[in-house]
Each structure stands twice: as structure tokens, then as C-alpha cells.
């Protein structure tokens, strides 16, 4: 049994290229249906590849994949990483991201669903923006909730997404202020927490169709022996209804910390100026004196072949899938990238043939 996290290889889709089972799994992972693997445990802030060796063949298989030279990247003393790239199209626009290497897999039993709930609370009051003021400000500069302002929570990461105009420097700076508030300035007022319970529970209720019922029976088989089988990001309704306010504040304190965060900025701007803005804002974030270990959640091997036969009166299709597990592959060298391309081509051709 490997000590590393296991990976579920893309299943063979028989009878249909897009299966009902695959469709049920995809929303939980935020990935295409063909990729039935849990997200990588260290997805939030990938380390930059080592510098290229001088000389040599650019396509030598043992050569490390270089970072795009147009990307300005760095790591602050508090551990936060940043990635900045100028991109002129579309004009006068920037995409900003705060990536947090923390999701539902890190929840304690008393916190199931609170990684996702914390994401909701980031829009309900921060150090600079009280309650509804954040959404009101962004809508006031022409942004729309959804296309330009959004976030998601998965098993292993939480990502906040913001698009802002760059024709006024002050607006771009304000956008980075918002990312800084999300990083360590969410207020979690008790009244706002209680108001949001109904919103999150309704989201949970809206997902309780055939796909969720199938998923409830399949995940304990697919991820047998792993926290992935019992830590769906939407959480447990019993916890969402009654958790004490301090539980969600504790989750935020434990995991929203600079060594588990990255800032990404891409857009029509001066990258040198944006780097200065990022460093001036995020260097002040403080890591905890005694940080909790950021655990991984391995999916263990098993000797026997596991199977799951699931029926539901509301399923509209019949499907069969086969999946098998292996250790995750490295993605650091030209050879690693070549192997990933070959795998992708293989599964695309196999699925096309079976279809």
C-alpha cells in the first residue's frame, strides 16, 4: 500500500461516452467527466520548476519544464506565492485569483461543509467591506456576480475569482484589497452566519437528485478507506443547521494562512507595478504561531476488485464504467509532459472508438 495519494485513472465509458455515473461525479471534482480522480493535495500553490540547465536540447526528455518567462513569480517571507502575467486581450481587464490550498478534506467531523460555508461568508462581510457592501461595490463598477465574481470549493482547494477593469489604477488596487480581505479579513459576524445557513442548505437540497443518490453509494466504493468518501464539499445538513459560530472561525484561522495561499493576476496591466501592489498588500499577512499540519488523504490500495451496482428510478441512462487506481505521476520534466499527452490521446481515441 502506497503512502502517497492514489489516483483513479479515467474510466472506460462503455455504452455511452457521457455516462450518468460520470455525470454524477463530475460536479464534485470540478473536472471533465473522463477524469474521475480526486484533486491533487497540493494544488493551491505549485512550486516553480527549477531553472533550465545551460545548453542542451530543449526537448531532452530529462529536462525540467521551464516556467513561462513572461510570468513574474515569487514567494513572500510569510510563505504566500504569487504569479503575475501581462495579457493585453481583452483590453482594460484583469483576472484576479486567490487560491487557498484548503478544502473539505481538512474539515474536522464537527466542520463538515464549513470549507464551502466559509467561501460563502467571504461575500458577507470583510475588514474593508461590511456585509453587502462588497457585492454592491463590484456591481457598481460594472461587474456581475457569476461571470465576473465567483468562487468554488473542492475537496482540496478553495478558489476566489474576480474580474476588474484596469483603465483606472484605483479599481485594480481595490480588487487586490478584496483578495487581501478574503485571505485573512473575513469577519464572520454571527448574524450573517445564521442568515447564510438557509442559503447553503438550499444549495444542498437542490443537489439531492438521482446523481447525488448514486454518488452517495459509489463514493464509499471508489474511495474506500479514504477521507474523500466522507468529506463532500457540500457537507452534512445536520452540521450546517447547528454548528457553533466558532467552528467556522476556527476553520478559517487554521487554514486561511499565507503558506497555503497564492495570488494570481493576469491582464492588461503593467506587471511590475502589479507585483509591487501584491507584495505591499500580502507581505503583512501573518502565519499562525503553531500551524496545523496540512494533511494529505491517500486513497489506499486493495487486493480485491471493488464493484458498485446502483439503480435509481430517476436515472435517465444506463451506463457501465471501469476505473483503476495507481500512484500519481510527477509532472516536472519534458518526459512527464510527453507521457501526459500520450495518455490523453490514448483515452480520447479509446472513448471515441467505444462511442
> For the chain, where are the alpha helices, taking DSSP H only?
20-29, 114-121, 133-140, 169-184, 190-206, 210-222, 237-242, 245-255, 271-282, 334-354
The CA-to-CA distance between both ends of the chain, in Å, stands at 35
Return the pLDDT at 326.
87
- For residue 87, is it within any domain? yes
- For residue 51, is it within any domain? no
- For residue 238, is it within any domain? yes
Question: Pairing relation of β-strands 158-165 and 320-322?
Answer: unpaired
Return the pLDDT at 90.
92
Reported as a single tens digit per residue, the pLDDT across 138-184 is 888 877 776 667 899 999 999 999 999 999 999 999 999 999 999 99
Reported as a single tens digit per residue, the pLDDT across 90-110 is 999 999 999 999 999 999 999
C-alpha cell at 307: 464493484
How are the residues of the chain apportioned to helix, strand and coil, as percentages rounded to the nearest 5? 40, 15, 45
Q: Is 346 helix (H, G, I), strand (E, B) or coil?
A: helix
pTM score: 0.79
Return the pLDDT at 149.
78
For residue 197, pLDDT beyond 60: yes
CB-facing half-sphere around the CA of 73: CA atoms within 13 A: 16
Q: Is 22 helix (H, G, I), strand (E, B) or coil?
A: helix
- For residue 323, is it within any domain? no
**What is the percentage of the chain residues whose pLDDT exceeds 70?**
83
Give the pLDDT mean for 311-326: 89
Residue 135: which CATH number?
3.30.830.10
- For residue 165, is it within any domain? yes
In the β-sheet with 93-100, what is the strand arrangement from edge to edge? Answer: 72-75, 81-86, 261-267, 93-100, 158-165, 149-153
Average pLDDT over all residues of the chain: 84
Number of domains in the chain: 1
Cα angle for residues 119, 120, 124 (degrees, 5° grid): 120
Cα angle for residues 208, 30, 94 (degrees, 5° grid): 125
For residue 14, pLDDT beyond 80: no
CA distance 110 to 263: 30
For residue 58, pLDDT beyond 60: yes
* Residues written for the chain: 355
Give the pLDDT mean for 340-355: 94
Contact between 252 and 188 under an 8 Å Cβ cutoff? The reply is yes
For residue 26, pLDDT beyond 80: no
Give catalytic status of residue 119 as yes or no.
Answer: yes
Reported as a single tens digit per residue, the pLDDT across 119-129 is 999 999 999 99
- For residue 172, is it within any domain? yes
- For residue 154, is it within any domain? yes
For residue 46, pLDDT beyond 90: no
Give catalytic status of residue 77 as yes or no.
Answer: no
Q: Show the domain range for 205.
A: 72-282
For residue 31, pLDDT beyond 70: no
Q: Give Cα 113 to chain centroid, integer Å.
A: 15
Sign of CA dihedral 135, 136, 137, 138: positive
**What pairs with residue 163 in β-bridges?**
95
Confidence label for 135 from pLDDT (cuts 50, 70 and 90): confident
Q: Is 32 helix (H, G, I), strand (E, B) or coil?
A: coil
C-alpha cell at 257: 494562512
Return the pLDDT at 56.
58
Spot the catalytic one: 173, 196, 230, 296: 196
Q: Grid cell 495518455 — which residue? A: 343
Could you give the C-alpha distances from 165 to 18, 78, 260, 272, 317, in angstroms and in order?
38, 29, 28, 18, 45
- For residue 309, is it within any domain? no
Reported as a single tens digit per residue, the pLDDT across 204-228 is 988 888 988 998 899 999 999 999 9
pLDDT: which is higher, 322 or 18: 322
Contact between 71 and 46 under an 8 Å Cβ cutoff? The reply is no
Return the pLDDT at 146.
66
Amino acid at each position: 500500500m502506497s503512502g502517497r495519494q492514489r489516483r483513479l485513472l479515467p474510466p472506460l465509458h462503455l455504452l455511452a461516452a457521457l455516462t450518468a455515473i460520470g455525470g454524477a461525479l463530475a460536479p464534485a471534482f470540478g473536472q471533465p467527466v473522463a477524469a474521475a480522480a480526486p484533486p491533487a493535495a497540493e494544488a493551491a500553490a505549485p512550486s516553480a520548476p527549477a531553472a533550465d540547465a545551460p545548453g542542451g536540447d530543449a526537448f531532452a526528455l530529462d529536462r525540467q519544464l521551464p516556467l513561462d518567462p513572461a510570468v513574474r513569480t515569487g514567494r513572500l517571507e510569510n510563505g504566500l506565492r504569487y504569479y503575475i502575467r501581462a495579457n493585453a486581450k481583452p483590453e482594460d481587464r484583469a483576472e484576479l485569483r486567490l487560491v487557498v490550498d484548503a478544502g473539505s478534506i481538512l474539515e474536522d467531523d464537527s466542520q463538515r461543509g464549513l470549507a464551502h460555508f466559509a467561501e460563502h461568508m467571504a461575500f458577507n462581510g470583510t475588514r474593508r467591506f461590511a456585509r453587502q457592501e462588497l457585492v454592491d461595490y463590484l456591481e457598481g463598477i460594472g461587474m456581475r456576480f457569476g461571470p465576473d465574481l465567483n468562487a468554488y470549493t473542492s475537496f482540496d482547494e478553495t478558489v476566489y475569482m474576480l474580474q476588474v477593469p484596469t483603465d483606472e489604477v484605483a479599481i485594480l488596487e481595490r480588487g487586490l484589497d478584496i483578495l487581501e480581505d478574503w485571505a485573512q479579513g473575513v469577519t464572520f459576524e454571527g448574524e450573517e452566519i445564521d442568515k447564510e445557513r438557509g442559503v447553503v442548505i438550499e444549495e444542498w437540497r437542490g443537489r439531492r437528485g438521482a446523481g447525488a443518490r448514486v454518488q452517495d453509494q459509489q463514493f464509499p466504493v471508489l474511495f474506500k478507506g479514504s477521507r474523500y468518501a466522507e468529506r463532500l464539499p457540500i457537507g452534512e445538513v445536520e452540521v450546517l443547521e447547528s454548528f457553533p459560530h466558532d467552528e467556522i472561525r476556527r476553520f478559517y484561522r487554521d487554514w486561511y494562512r499565507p503558506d497555503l495561499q497564492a495570488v494570481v493576476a493576469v491582464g492588461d496591466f503593467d506587471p511590475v507595478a502589479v507585483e509591487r501592489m501584491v507584495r505591499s498588500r500580502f507581505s503583512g499577512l501573518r502565519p499562525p504561531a503553531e500551524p496545523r499540519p496540512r494533511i494529505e488523504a491517500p486513497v489506499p490500495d486493495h487486493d480485491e476488485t471493488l464493484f458498485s451496482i446502483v439503480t435509481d428510478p430517476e436515472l435517465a441512462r444506463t451506463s457501465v464504467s471501469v476505473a483503476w487506481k495507481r500512484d500519481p505521476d510527477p509532472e516536472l520534466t519534458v518526459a512527464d509532459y510527453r507521457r501526459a499527452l500520450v495518455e490523453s490521446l490514448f483515452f480520447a481515441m479509446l472513448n471515441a472508438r467505444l462511442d
